[in-house]
Amino acid sequence: MNRARPAVAAPIAVAGLALVAACGTNPYATSGAVQPVVLGAQQQPVSAVPAGAAAQLISSTVDGLGTVLADAEGHTLYRFAKDAATPSKATCAGPCATTWPPLVSDAPAVAAGVDSRLVGQVARPDGRKQVTIDGWPVYRYAKDTGPGVALGREVSADWAAITPAGEKAGTEPPTLGTTRIDGLGPVLTDADGRTLYLFTPDRKGSGKSTCDGSCAQKWPPVPADGRITVADGIDPGLVGRIRRADGTAQVTVGGWPAYTYAADGEPGVAGGHGAGGTWYALEPNGCKADPAVRPPVRQAIAQSPSGY
């Protein structure tokens, strides 16, 4: 949080349903079966974690899909397109939950090889707590015969094996994605999961980037070569491109040229937010993240007064 499918005839593609933007229009947008066991009066799928225990998550590999998220027994986990990740919501219940048993856990899930910041829980319609990855509730497929099997990928377009990052398995990462950062909430990311930023001197909708030379070395522009693809929760109408002074193309979101920060050492870090009072993390709606909020100290990186 799935990957990319063409949104319009022009070179921007979108996966899933987009959120309504709150920061205006973009002047540079490119146009265009397992039987349940009975526990008291309630039926619970056999994949449910024993009462009082915590679910365990691991990274696994499936032929043709690559890296996927799995439960402690190695069974492939899936995400459902009719659920929601922002905020989390589980909609597969009743007969659906018999075919697709939810991974429930009374305690926070334990993850091995998975970013613990992406792991969470959501209350199901029956009150149980279901494990989420990057906001997406996760399920097993009842007809999967064992570890390394992902028969559920062939069932319908609504179901896809999920990666440890919460994305659909077996597809290339989108040009633009989203992630949650402590203290900031959802922010935009590039294909490698790095936080995206705007630079206020650029001025929204100006069609120009003012960050060149040494500035662009510390704040690399997000390239807009070829097709731009976006993940769930990003309105493709907000995404466009501009031509930089050096002739290269740069992605824009909501009219703002987008950048990464070279000093952000890993995904989930926003050390550049607030730098020099001019650099701010970009939200999925094309707005700058709250200027008054800074990520936790452990994520922040010292800035020069100028921001670059």
Residues 59 and 100 placed together within one structural domain of the fold: yes
Q: Is residue 296 part of a domain?
A: no
Last residue of a domain, one of 161, 186, 208: 161
Residue 113: per-residue pLDDT: 76
Residues 193 and 274 placed together within one structural domain of the fold: yes
- Give per-residue pLDDT as tens, 188-238: 999 888 999 999 999 999 999 999 999 999 999 999 987 888 987 899 999
Q: If you average pLDDT over every residue of the chain, what do you get?
A: 81
Residues 65 and 149 placed together within one structural domain of the fold: yes
56 strand-pairing partners: 110
Q: Is residue 286 part of a domain?
A: no
Residue 48: per-residue pLDDT: 53
Find the farthest-apart pair of alpha carbons in the chain and give their distance in angstroms, rounded. Answer: 69
Residue 112: per-residue pLDDT: 82
Residues 225 and 274 placed together within one structural domain of the fold: yes
Q: At a CB cut-off of 8 Å and minimum separation 6, what does 304 contact?
A: 275, 276
Distance, in Å, from the CA atom of 308 to the CA atom of 303, rounded to the nearest integer, reads 7
Residues 42 and 82 placed together within one structural domain of the fold: yes
Q: At a CB cut-off of 8 Å and minimum separation 6, what does 215 contact?
A: 308
Q: Is residue 261 part of a domain?
A: yes
Q: Is residue 289 part of a domain?
A: no
Tell me what the mean pLDDT of segment 264-277 comes to.
91
Residue 283: per-residue pLDDT: 95
Query: Which three-class secondary structure state does DSSP give residue 82?
Result: coil
Handedness of CA 182, 186, 191, 197 (dihedral sign): negative
Q: Could you tell me what percentage of the chain is helix, strand and coil, using 3-state DSSP and rounding each to the nearest 5?
A: 10, 30, 60
Q: Is residue 166 part of a domain?
A: no
Residues 254 and 182 placed together within one structural domain of the fold: yes
Last residue of a domain, one of 109, 137, 161: 161
Residues 120 and 93 placed together within one structural domain of the fold: yes
Q: Is residue 138 within 8 Å of 70, Cβ to Cβ?
A: no
Q: Is residue 300 part of a domain?
A: no
The closest of 112, 103, 100, 164 to 130, measured between CA atoms, is 103
| Domain residue limits at 42 | 37-161
Residues 153 and 203 placed together within one structural domain of the fold: no
The closest of 235, 268, 266 to 252, measured between CA atoms, is 235
Residues 156 and 197 placed together within one structural domain of the fold: no
Residues 156 and 43 placed together within one structural domain of the fold: yes
Q: Is residue 287 part of a domain?
A: no
Residues 219 and 108 placed together within one structural domain of the fold: no
Q: Is pLDDT of 52 > 50?
A: yes
Distance, in Å, from the CA atom of 271 to the CA atom of 183, rounded to the nearest integer, reads 12
Last residue of a domain, one of 161, 195, 228: 161
Model-wide pTM > 0.75:
no
Q: How many domains would you assign to the chain?
A: 2
- Give per-residue pLDDT as tens, 126-165: 899 999 999 999 999 999 988 989 999 889 889 999 999 8
Residue 43: per-residue pLDDT: 45
Q: Is residue 80 part of a domain?
A: yes
Greater pLDDT, 162 or 112: 162
Residues 45 and 94 placed together within one structural domain of the fold: yes
